[in-house]
Structure 1
């Protein structure tokens, strides 16, 4: 497999004219030379926070508060999940994952409701697709054991000490929502020494200092936070202190499009386009323990090629800014996963 054009090479996404050669799923060469192609070649995305089960309820609950929408056990999403059949949930999740696959997402970190059965349902939904789910079970230790880790709803919903210890003993990922509504649950979440936090819309100076000292990464979901009315995360402040990745959060609220998340984040926050592209690729991969997200020899050949001569992208002076701020699903020419 050979992709040619403007290659966003290395961890800094330096644009070079040339080609990427992939053999047996691995990048074996990145060659800089003149080529006859207008494509823009970039690493495939890693969506660092999703709730794919919500695919059964797209755009449900308009006007409801965050708690009314998603708070366990009786928020709208949980009621709809209980009412839906397994077949309905699997089919809806599969369609969302197919959309992610077609738009260049190589992997996603899923907080999966429904216990052990929920984990198995998602594994069924992705069968035969080229997107890798990193599944964090919820509700029980047994769900964590069936999955790739544990995804906690938040310290206001419970202490989660037992689940954290069991996850650490299993050598798996532990993530937890924190600071979404207010700052009150951030210190208890940090006290659990999680592998990553999600949201952090309301960090105070003490929390930023603790993040920097602990080097705990944060996944931000600014579109979701705006929709639910809780505010937007201080992306630049967080990025100054720790690794930040991007997630699209609940499918009931937002499409799982990393293009839309990147554009919103870059236009919202005082961070560069290359920083945002890192949040959508290598930073999420780092949190998930994956080796993708960078175009360099020896890395997995998970790539995305955009039509740089599309009506949308033609004439762009800065390919990285064009990818982050302007590109969309219609510009995708080839996905290699």
Structure 2
């Protein structure tokens, strides 16, 4: 398999004109040469924070506060989840996963409600799809053991010390929401030594210093934060200190489109387009412990091809800015998700 055009090569997403060659599911060559193609070849996205169970409740709860929408156990989403049958859940989640694939996404790191059954719902919904749906389970240590890690709601909800110890013993990542509505849960969240934090909208200077000192990665979800009215995270400050990845958060509130998330972040902040694209691809893969990410020789072939001559993108002078600030699902001409996905 060969694909030609402008290839966003390596961890720095360097745009080169040339060809990308795939053999047996892995990238074997990236050759810089003149080619007759306007395509843009870039890494597949990794959506670093989702709640795809919310696919059964899209656009529910307009006007509610963050706590009214999502706080366990009686926030609107949790009530709707309890009322839904397993069949409804699986069907709704599968449609969201398919949408993500069509939009160039190879993996999502999903915070899974519903305990062991919630993990099983995600597994069933993802069956046969070329997407890594990683279950950061919630509800019990048994759910964590059935899934790919533990995804805690927040340190103001519980201490999570038992779950953190169990995840460490199982050799699985422990991640936690923190600093979403206010800074009160950031210190106890950091005390748990998480694999990464989610949101971090309201860090104080001491939290930023500690995040940098302890090299704690952060996943930001700016569209969700705006919808819930909690504000926007200091993404540039965070990116200066640690690895930052990008997620779309609740399907209840936002489509799981990484193109929309990138555009939103790029236009509301002074973070460069290249750094935003790294957050959506290379950095997310790193957080998920995935072997793919940058387009480089020896890596699994998991990438997308964007039509640089679409009516939307024709004439763009900067391919990285065009992908981040302008492209959408309709501009994706091909998504290549070869086997050999997990490291």
Report if TM-score (shorter chain) is over 0.5. Answer: yes
If the length of structure 1 is used for normalisation, what is the TM-score? 0.99
| Deviation for aligned residue 1:79 | 0.3
Aligned match of 2:58: 58
Q: How does 1:1-337 map to 2 (within 5 A)?
A: 1-337=1-337
For residues 277 and 130 of structure 1, what CA distance do their matches in structure 2 show?
Answer: 22
CA displacement, residues 112-146 of structure 1 (integer Å, 9 cap, x when unaligned): 00000000010000011101111111010000000
For residues 254 and 21 of structure 2, what CA distance do their matches in structure 1 show?
Answer: 34
For residues 271 and 230 of structure 2, what CA distance do their matches in structure 1 show?
Answer: 21
Q: Which runs of 5+ in 1 are unaligned?
A: none
CA displacement, residues 58-87 of structure 1 (integer Å, 9 cap, x when unaligned): 000000000000000000000000000000
CA displacement, residues 260-295 of structure 1 (integer Å, 9 cap, x when unaligned): 000011111221111000000010110110121201
| Deviation for aligned residue 1:23 | 1.5
How many residues get paired? Answer: 337
For residues 25 and 196 of structure 2, what CA distance do their matches in structure 1 show?
Answer: 28
Q: Which runs of 5+ in 2 are unaligned?
A: 338-343
If the length of structure 2 is used for normalisation, what is the TM-score? 0.98
